[in-house]
Amino acid sequence: MTTQTIDGIRNFSIVAHIDHGKSTLADRLIQLTGAMSEREMQGREQVLDSMDIERERGITIKAQTVRLAYRAKDGKDYVLNLIDTPGHVDFAYEVNRSLAACEGSLLVVDASQGVEAQTLANVYQALDNNHEVVPVLNKVDLPAAEPDKVKQQIEDVIGLDASDALQISAKTGIGIPDVLEAIVTRLPAPKGDPDAPLKALLVDSWYDAYLGVVVLMRVVDGEIRKDQRIRMMRADADYEVDRVGVFTPKMVEKASLGPGEIGFITASIKDVADTRVGDTITDYRKPTEHALPGFRPAIPVVFCGLFPVDAAQFEDLRAAMGKLRLNDASFTFEMETSAALGFGFRCGFLGLLHLEIIQERLEREFNLDLIATAPSVIYKITLTDGSEIEIHNPVDMPDPVKVREIHEPWIQATILTPDEYLGSVLKLCQDRRGVQTELTYVGNRAMVKYELPLNEVVFDFYDRLKSVSKGYASFDYHLTDYRAADLVKMQILVNADPVDALSMLVHRTRAEGRGRAMCEKLKELIPPHMFVVPIQAAIGGKIIARETVRAFRKDVTAKCYGGDITRKRKLLDKQKEGKKRMRQFGKVDIPQEAFIAALKVDV
């Protein structure tokens, strides 16, 4: 490969907040460069969002890549490698690894909504990767668009020069040719030595039923060819390359890929676990001396139990999780058992949206009925003998006598909100034990930074934030550290039996309120039985809240016409005895929606 061709390559990603138009802009670029014909594009919005859930929810979950051919105004031919990235905070790790494969970014900002929390988070990630960033104002055709105001916002909040920001409408196609010109004129070409030993960055991998594991990679130095023997440096595994190619967005095979190019390889790899994201691919016979720095692995922060409603589906659930794990390396699971729910799995997720999407995919793609337990985070517990343990299931909590200290994870949250909702947002954060660290204004919008316990965020913080701000506030967070906290294990007892799926670790000051709310909710949701069902919230042996589900009552005195009252009394006493015995041995059925609704309880 000559340097001339490396000069003609541009690797870039599109970063933005959720719903600011990344995938629509990618569609227009694909259309304008002729990568897909009008007929192929017809009726297909968001070409790169291939999953059903992505299309229905209108969000990008997996970063997707496409290679476009473009002839610039100066008559020179360019190869553009575009990576479309997710905008949601739960998928920030997808953004991070996409940015590492590129030299530049298009920062898309909605001209009517302005800079949002995720815009900030993603652009800082791009700048950390030494990217050249081109600001793009999208949706300028909307009546509410204020491009000049948003340009000022970009300069004030992010500190980027936005005087020559592009003004486009990805939906109607206004200004798209200018975007292509800006990519080739304002973004740098990649650097790389074609004669050096092969060095390539493993950007992503997924499982294909026909090809085995498909590896997406960015070649830094050297060349990768078909039939070449390669080595994964961190995994210490060798493979022979079956096919090399690029996405246009269809798979197109090529003889080889050189420095600066982004493409895929297959090498009869059976398990995605062997292809760790961030690994360095090199030549088996002539390896490179230094591996690339790679990425921090995606660490699950939210855990919950997933159990099949029908115990007979347990093996189906195990197989389904194994298949999902092939395409989502950040999803982890291990087997666990529960007295109330039987056999299931303890699963780790990157956040609540990730949890919701995995659960929805399991139910939809594999036809499973699932019950999810209360989401919890990792707690670090120091025992009285000085040893430290980590727990992510409240059921595993050791005896309080043996516990010296409990540490919980804290996050740094950035919230952007119109100032009329600021009071409600601050109150919400204070109620969740938050500590305010910063409050600044940009025009009529406030940017507030809070330190919050992750435990208070994983339940329903995002939903509450959206409702108190009428949907206008945006939220981004990252983990900071672990801090000591006065936490207690709260159990829910139904008919004196603990329901481990509903037990949780809560702050002592909030335990009573949360316990009372859960008991009230369960009282509405548990159907009446033939006997009285008490619902109690307890901390250790102390009951802190109680509700009672009244029993069905059969009228046993119906057959007594008049006569002595003692006869009726005898029948009623006999019924009472029967109910008492029934309550002793009776089993209470808790419907699935009761679990889900009880976990969404708002205190």
Binding-site residue numbers for GTP are: 19-24, 138-141
Token pair 């995919």 is at which residue?
361
Task: Give the other-Cβ count within 10 Å of 584's Cβ.
Answer: 10
Query: Helices H, strands E: what count in the chain?
Result: 16, 31
CA distances from 383 to 70, 239, 303, 393, 453 (A): 63, 46, 22, 17, 21
Rounded to the nearest 10 degrees, how much is the dihedral formed by the CA atoms of 384, 389, 392, 396? -60
Answer positive or negative: Cα dihedral of 128, 129, 131, 136.
negative
**Region of 577 on the Ramachandran plot (φ > 0 left; ψ -120 to 50 alpha; else beta):** alpha
Cβ–Cβ under 8 Å, residues 8 and 189: yes
Distance (Å, whole) CA 430 – CA 202: 42
Distance (Å, whole) CA 451 – CA 517: 26
DSSP 464: H
- The closest of 177, 19, 29, 16 to 108, measured between CA atoms, is 16
Q: What is the largest CA-CA distance in the chain?
A: 110
Distance (Å, whole) CA 216 – CA 526: 50
Q: Render the burial of 425-457: b for 16+ CB within 10 Å, e for the rest.
A: bbebbeebbbeeeeeeebbebbbbebbbbbbbb
Distance (Å, whole) CA 432 – CA 421: 17
